[in-house]
Amino acid sequence: MAEATWRDYVKNKPKKPKPLSGLRVLEVCTIVFGPSGPSWLAEMGAEAIKVEIPPLGDLERDLSCSGFRFKEQSPLFLHDNVNKYYLGLDLHKPEGQEIFCQLAAKADIIENNLRPGVMERFNVDYRKIEKINPGIIYLEKNGFGNWGPYAEENRPSNDGASQAFSGIAWMSTFPGQTPVKQMIYLSDMYGALLAEVAVLSALRHRDRTGKGQYIEISQTESIMRTMSWVWPYLDITGQNPPPAGNRDVSVCPADTFCCADGSLVSLAAAAPQEFAGLCAAMDRPELAHDQRFADHLTRLQEENATALLEIIAAWAAQQSPREIEALAREHGFAASRVRDAAQVMADQHIRQRGFMTQVDDAMYGTYLDHEFPVMMSATPPQKKWAARAVGFDNEFLMKNLLNKSEEELKALYETGALGKWADRPGRRPPPDWDGSSDLILSRDQTPAQAERGEK
Amino acid sequence: MSADRPKWAEWADWVREKDDPRSAGPKLEALEGLVVLDLSSQSYAGAYCSSMLSEFGAEVIRVEPPQGDFLRTCTPYGLVHQGEGLNYLVEGRNKYHVTLDLNQPEGREVLQGLAAQADVLLETFPLGTMDAWGLGYEDLKKTNPGLIFASITAHGQFGPEADDPMPDYDNVAQAKSGIHYATGAMLPPEHDAGTCPWAVSTKASPWIAWCSAGTFMATGILAALHWRHRTGQGQALDVATTEAYMRLDNYTHIWFQGGGHVTERVGGLDNALWLYCFAPTSDGGVFLGGLRLEMWQAFCDMMGKWDEWGVGDWDSLSPFLNQEAQLKYFPEVAKFTSRHTSGELERMAVEYSRSGRLAPITTVIAPILSPQEAMLDPNWNERGIFTPTQDPVYGRVVAAQAQHKMTETPIRTKWVCRPVGYDNAFIYRKYMGYGPERLSRLRQDGVL
């Protein structure tokens, strides 16, 4: 029974192993598209080392929500960088490149989202790393891949450009209106996600053969992959599929309707029993037998769909969102308010599932954030700690992974190969940091101070 | 292009030689030997998830009821190609298609036989359906403890609303995610929803919530597979479509925790970035991007505002990172862009990178392309994204593909779809040893 499988899932999470434990990931990643992927691997238990060029590090640390920051940190950076170790390493310096190679020799996965050719300039591209570590899985993500006309033009890309280039923005609007940009960084986030499918497939290949490989992902090619019917539609009809606002033109009925109080409800009732349920809920059971709505393919015809959606719109305009949700539950179709952030945060279901989970962090305190959205009964992913300052874990990483001596460490800092945060919001620890909490290993503390939690 | 190729051209050539999709055919496949049963029912999330696996070479056995999955009828405006809806036409790729009536005891028995030989089982039925059939995870793991049992539903396998049997739809998941609410055109001043019915929360097209659920589940399955490789242990996986899509939202939930702020629509603008917006042009629209002060200054220069606004004296982007400032500057930006075509603006940015005051710094200017323009763009065709598939059954079909470029185990599209029950003979022979006589009886009994 599903109930037996999932009983006490959230409670037992800390006691269970993680599926990617023992894997080491090195990332040289920036702004959403880059760091999200390694974060997901780290949530599944991989040891992710975030390499940032000191003292400023990942530019995502700069992003605020119209000026709002969470204890000085960018909310976006906080969300996309969990369970990681932070290394401030300057890859412009030969000494920094050497450290990177030493770490790469002990890594399983390397990810970056720099422009083509940059890692080569840093002397840490796939061809060099592969010689040190033939099992390495090496991922490069960017706008246009590493070859082809746009890549060679050195065209910059980002999420907004990718939404524009892919055709998805053109479609995601009302007929005749200017396209709107998705509020989320859709091409960045989805591209990052699709890239991990390649990385984990490559891991399976490596599990079986010992061989690593090189992977390149374009955020635009990734989002194009999601546009399913659009491409055969174009090829068959020779026409652009017109923007359709909130209507799902592949499912009928499926649209968003305005209720009596002016708020919006999205609804879908396509399968025969669902459609009959909706007709009953509207107190119009005869519609289920109307020739125009006889079966799904018939309903989807433009004229019939328009007629049906008008009937539903007139009905919905007399209802409250709560009534429609209740009727959906009673009659077996799908409906939900178009929920705002307050309604999402009040959702007890996603809280109790541990999806909206409370992070308990020594540096950023307690706050709610998304858990990795795949619940795994034997190996549950888990958010354990939040973001850290640039270079926060330098000492620990250098000692534990490379056993660097005090002299070597000193020399690395002197050449600038190693470095720490700039004294700026988002780069430094939060303002109420006590100077020692959460440092795994510090050069600046005596053992007695460390024990007392002093700097 | 050869005249002014970049310094790293040799690297580009090396990569292309190793990962051009045109040379994928004979290479190894990452998921070869992996047997996946896809029982998903009226769910593009399920179909998309198993496509992610079958593109990498898994043997995906698509189990449908005798009349075929409802998803086959979900197609834009009712358009079909050789009887097949366009979504399923491209998402049956590389899969074997069998029929089986799980409402009949004999059908369930056959399924148990297949499940005993599978590595992964994917299902999207309402909670309790598989258990009621005696095909739930606790049942199947008894004979196959290594099985990875993956469920995608609207509300997940547990939690206070898990027993709500609400069918899982992309548009409703988008509505629940919070993202739909915060996306869409802003209401122009002195208008209301009556005069501007398009200035409302607007969902993304086409099925992005379902794609997110399917892709997250694919990563979960592959991570579980790695765990099984190490320990032999299988497990159950649970994805709720709303949660999967919500996970792509970077900040509204954290912003809310800073004083209850509810993220509202900003049209083509952005809450976190400037210059970062969609702007109208005389023939469509463009994306303008400049995450650094200098890139915004470059754009001001292109607009001819350098002296008027004292742009040269600006020393920080911070003053522009709030909505008040954006609403002040955006009308000026839009006034300028509206006087030009998208192409003119694109060229202007390139020209500025060569001869502008701040060159080589310039602004990212990208035209908002229609899908048709995107599909005809030589760049993507050179990279193999829209190479037409010659399907043995459906003929020429254009489906986006080759999105994962890899040197050792690239993905490939062998076929795009199969009619209902097309592979019954092959799959039931291969896994169950059933011959023509047995199959014919099962067909007569309505089991297949």
**Could you tell me how many CB contacts below 8 A there are between chain A and chain B?**
613
Q: Characterize the bridge pairing of strands B364-367 and B284-289.
A: antiparallel
- Verify cis geometry, omega within 30 degrees of 0, for the bond prior to A241: no
Inside any domain, residue A82: yes
Inside any domain, residue A233: no
Q: Cα separation of A289 and A303, whole Å?
A: 17
Cβ proximity of A257 and A267 under 8 Å? yes
pLDDT tens-place string over residues B375-402? 999 999 999 999 999 999 999 999 999 9
- Nearest residue of chain A to residue B198 (CA atoms): A174
Q: Residues B53, B176: one domain? A: yes
pLDDT tens-place string over residues B16-68? 999 999 999 999 999 999 999 999 999 999 999 999 999 999 999 999 999 99
Q: Hey, are the CB atoms on A302 and B77 less than 8 Å from each other?
A: yes
Q: Residues B92, B24: one domain? A: yes
Q: Hey, are the CB atoms on B74 and A251 less than 8 Å from each other?
A: yes
Inside any domain, residue B130: yes
Q: Bridge-partner residues for A217, per DSSP?
A: A141
pLDDT for res A453: 54
Q: Residues B422, B329: one domain? A: no
pLDDT band at A445 (very low <50, low <70, confident <90, very high): low
Tell me the average pLDDT across B309-321: 92
**Tokens 């019915």 -> residue:** B197
pLDDT tens-place string over residues A395-425? 999 999 999 999 999 999 999 999 999 999 9
**Tokens 């992974």 -> residue:** A401
Q: Residues B145, B224: one domain? A: yes
Of the residues A344, A361, A380, the one at which a domain ends: A344
Q: Which residue has the higher pLDDT, B258 or B169?
A: B169
Of the residues B311, B335, B362, the one at which a domain ends: B362
Instruction: List alpha helices for A317-393, DSSP H.
Output: 321-331, 341-345, 348-352
Cβ proximity of A107 and A26 under 8 Å? yes
Residues of B in contact with A37 (CB under 8 A): none
Q: Residues A77, A126: one domain? A: yes
Does A447 score more than 80 pLDDT? Answer: no
- Percentage of residues of chain B with pLDDT beyond 70: 99
* A6-25 CB burial, b ≥16 within 10 A, e <16: beebbeebeeeebbbeebbb
Q: Does B120 touch chain A (CB under 8 A)?
A: no
Q: Hey, are the CB atoms on A228 and B207 less than 8 Å from each other?
A: yes
Q: Cα separation of B296 and B299, whole Å?
A: 5
Cβ proximity of B21 and B380 under 8 Å? no
pLDDT for res A326: 97
Tell me the average pLDDT across B250-263: 95
User: For residue B383, what are the CA distances in angstroms to A45, A162, A235, B375?
Assistant: 34, 16, 18, 12
* Cβ neighbours around A69 below 10 Å, total: 21
Name the residue facing A344 among B81, B178, B225 (closest C-beta). B178
Q: Hey, are the CB atoms on B30 and A241 less than 8 Å from each other?
A: no
3-state secondary structure A168-181: HHHHCCCCCCCCCC
Q: Cα separation of A353 and A344, whole Å?
A: 14
B144: closest CA of chain A, how far (Å): 15
Q: Cα separation of A159 and B87, whole Å?
A: 25
**Total residues found in chain A within this entry:** 455
Dihedral sign from CA coordinates of B74, A169, B410, A138: negative
Residue ranges of E strands in B145-250: 148-153, 235-240
Q: Does B367 touch chain A (CB under 8 A)?
A: yes
Q: Residues B291, B343: one domain? A: yes
Q: Residues A118, A262: one domain? A: no
Inside any domain, residue A236: no
Q: Does A349 touch chain B (CB under 8 A)?
A: yes
Identify which of B347, B343, B320 has the alpha carbon closest to the alpha carbon of residue B332: B320
Q: Characterize the bridge pairing of strands A264-268 and A254-258.
A: antiparallel
Q: How many domains does chain B have?
A: 2
Q: How many domains does chain A have?
A: 2
Q: Cα separation of A275 and A277, whole Å?
A: 5
Q: Residues A106, A47: one domain? A: yes
Of the residues A307, A327, A344, the one at which a domain ends: A344
Q: Residues B210, B144: one domain? A: yes
Q: Residues A49, A182: one domain? A: yes
Q: Cα separation of B227 and B236, whole Å?
A: 12
Lowest-pLDDT range of A235-244, B258-267, B314-323, B431-440 = B314-323
Cβ proximity of B243 and B173 under 8 Å? no
pLDDT tens-place string over residues B95-137? 999 999 999 999 999 999 999 999 999 999 999 999 999 999 9
Q: Which of A71, A73, A184 to mutate to test the interface with B (most CBs of B within 10 A)?
A: A184
Inside any domain, residue A275: yes
Cβ proximity of A282 and A328 under 8 Å? no
Residues of B in contact with A164 (CB under 8 A): 278, 285-287, 366-369
Residues of A in contact with B174 (CB under 8 A): 266
Does A448 score more than 80 pLDDT? Answer: no
Q: Cα separation of B200 and B184, whole Å?
A: 6
Of the residues B362, B396, B418, the one at which a domain ends: B362
Q: Does A267 touch chain B (CB under 8 A)?
A: yes
Q: Which amino acid, one-letter code, is at A442?
A: S
Q: Does A301 touch chain B (CB under 8 A)?
A: yes
Q: Which of A24, A31, A66 to mutate to test the interface with B (most CBs of B within 10 A)?
A: A66
**Tokens 């607009």 -> residue:** B303
Inside any domain, residue B129: yes
- Nearest residue of chain B to residue A376 (CA atoms): B237
pLDDT band at A442 (very low <50, low <70, confident <90, very high): confident
Q: Bridge-partner residues for B279, per DSSP?
A: B286
Q: Which of B51, B406, B417 to mutate to test the interface with A (most CBs of A within 10 A)?
A: B406
A117's torsion region: left (phi>0), alpha (psi -120 to 50) or beta? left
Q: Residues B118, B57: one domain? A: yes
Q: Residues A263, A216: one domain? A: no
Q: Residues B283, B208: one domain? A: no
Does B298 score more than 50 pLDDT? Answer: yes
Inside any domain, residue B27: yes
At A49, give phi and psi (nearest 5°): -105, 115
- Helix B208-231 / helix B44-55 crossing angle, nearest 10 deg: 50
Q: What is the CATH number of the domain that holds A275?
A: 3.30.1540.10
Q: Residues A34, A92: one domain? A: yes
3 state DSSP class of B374: helix
Of the residues A344, A379, A405, the one at which a domain ends: A344
Q: Which amino acid, one-letter code, is at A378?
A: A
Cβ proximity of B379 and A150 under 8 Å? yes
pLDDT for res B1: 46
Task: Provide the domain limits for residue A329.
Answer: 254-344
pLDDT tens-place string over residues A106-151? 999 999 999 999 999 999 999 999 999 999 999 999 999 999 999 9
Tell me the average pLDDT across B412-427: 97
Instruction: List alpha helices for B250-316, DSSP H.
Output: 252-256, 293-302
Burial of B3 (0-12, 13-18, 19+ CB in 10 A): exposed
Q: What is the DSSP string of B52-63?
A: HHHHTT-EEEEE
Q: Residues A172, A273: one domain? A: no
Q: Return the half-sphere exposure (C-beta side, CA atoms, 13 A cut-off) of residue B34.
A: 31
User: For residue A388, what are the CA distances in angstroms to A363, A391, A425, A446, B373?
Assistant: 8, 8, 12, 22, 43
Q: Is residue B289 within a helix (H) or strand (E), and if so which, with residue range?
A: strand B284-289
Tell me the average pLDDT across B132-156: 97
Residue ranges of E strands in B35-189: 35-38, 59-64, 80-81, 84-85, 96-99, 120-123, 148-153
Inside any domain, residue A364: no
Q: Is residue B86 within a helix (H) or strand (E), and if so which, with residue range?
A: helix B86-91
At B144, give phi and psi (nearest 5°): -140, 80
Q: Return the half-sphere exposure (C-beta side, CA atoms, 13 A cut-off) of residue A366.
A: 4
Does A283 score more than 90 pLDDT? Answer: yes
Burial of A80 (0-12, 13-18, 19+ CB in 10 A): buried
Q: Does B253 touch chain A (CB under 8 A)?
A: yes
Q: Cα separation of B388 and A399, whole Å?
A: 53
Tell me the average pLDDT across B242-265: 96
Q: Residues A305, A395: one domain? A: no
Q: What is the CATH number of the domain that holds A381?
A: 3.40.50.10540
Dihedral sign from CA coordinates of A129, A130, A136, A141: positive
Q: Cα separation of A396 and B439, whole Å?
A: 64
Q: Residues B48, B186: one domain? A: yes
Does B2 score more than 60 pLDDT? Answer: no
Cα B130 to chain centroid distance, Å, stands at: 27
Q: Residues A26, A136: one domain? A: yes
Q: Does B325 touch chain A (CB under 8 A)?
A: no
Task: Provide the domain limits for residue B358.
Answer: 276-362
Q: Residues A185, A288: one domain? A: no
- Nearest residue of chain A to residue B372 (CA atoms): A240
Joined together, the tokens standing for residue B329 give: 């500057």
pLDDT tens-place string over residues A46-62? 999 999 999 999 999 99
Q: Residues A88, A173: one domain? A: yes
Joined together, the tokens standing for residue B4 give: 């002014």
Identify which of A108, A97, A99, A112 has the alpha carbon closest to the alpha carbon of residue A134: A108
Inside any domain, residue B414: yes
Q: Hey, are the CB atoms on A266 and B77 less than 8 Å from each other?
A: no
Q: Residues A216, A174: one domain? A: yes
Q: Characterize the bridge pairing of strands B395-397 and B389-391.
A: antiparallel
User: What spatial distance separates the first Cα and last Cα of chain B, rounded to whole Å?
Assistant: 57
Q: Residues B224, B141: one domain? A: yes
Cβ proximity of B406 and B19 under 8 Å? yes
Tell me the average pLDDT across B156-173: 95
Q: Cα separation of B394 and B415, whole Å?
A: 9
Q: Hey, are the CB atoms on A297 and B80 less than 8 Å from each other?
A: yes
Residues of B in contact with A374 (CB under 8 A): 216-217, 219-220, 223, 237-239
- Nearest residue of chain B to residue A235 (CA atoms): B398
Name the residue facing B171 among A202, A254, A376 (closest C-beta). A254
Q: Does B234 touch chain A (CB under 8 A)?
A: yes
**Total residues found in chain B within this entry:** 448
pLDDT for res A449: 57
Residues 175-204 of chain A with CB under 8 A from chain B are 176-186, 189-190, 193-194, 196-198, 200-204
Identify which of B301, B107, B405, B174 has the alpha carbon closest to the alpha carbon of residue A248: B174
Q: Bridge-partner residues for A112, per DSSP?
A: A28, A140
Q: Cα separation of A244 and A247, whole Å?
A: 6
Q: Residues B125, B243: one domain? A: yes
pLDDT tens-place string over residues A333-361? 999 999 999 999 999 999 999 999 999 99
Q: In what order do the strands lie in the sheet with A375-376?
A: A375-376, B235-240, B148-153, B120-123, B35-38, B59-64, B96-99
Inside any domain, residue B10: no
Inside any domain, residue B137: yes
Listed in sequence order, the residues at least 6 apart from B304 whose beta carbon sits closer than 8 Å to its beta carbon are none
Q: Which of B248, B270, B382, B396 to mutate to test the interface with A (most CBs of A within 10 A)?
A: B248
Residues of B in contact with A121 (CB under 8 A): 8
Q: Hey, are the CB atoms on A161 and B385 less than 8 Å from each other?
A: no
Residue ranges of E strands in B112-234: 120-123, 148-153
Q: Hey, are the CB atoms on B11 and A146 less than 8 Å from each other?
A: yes
How big, in percent rounded to 5, are the helix, strand and coil portions of chain A? 40, 15, 45
Average pLDDT for chain A: 95
Cα B66 to chain centroid distance, Å, stands at: 28
Q: Which residue has the higher pLDDT, A178 or B232?
A: B232
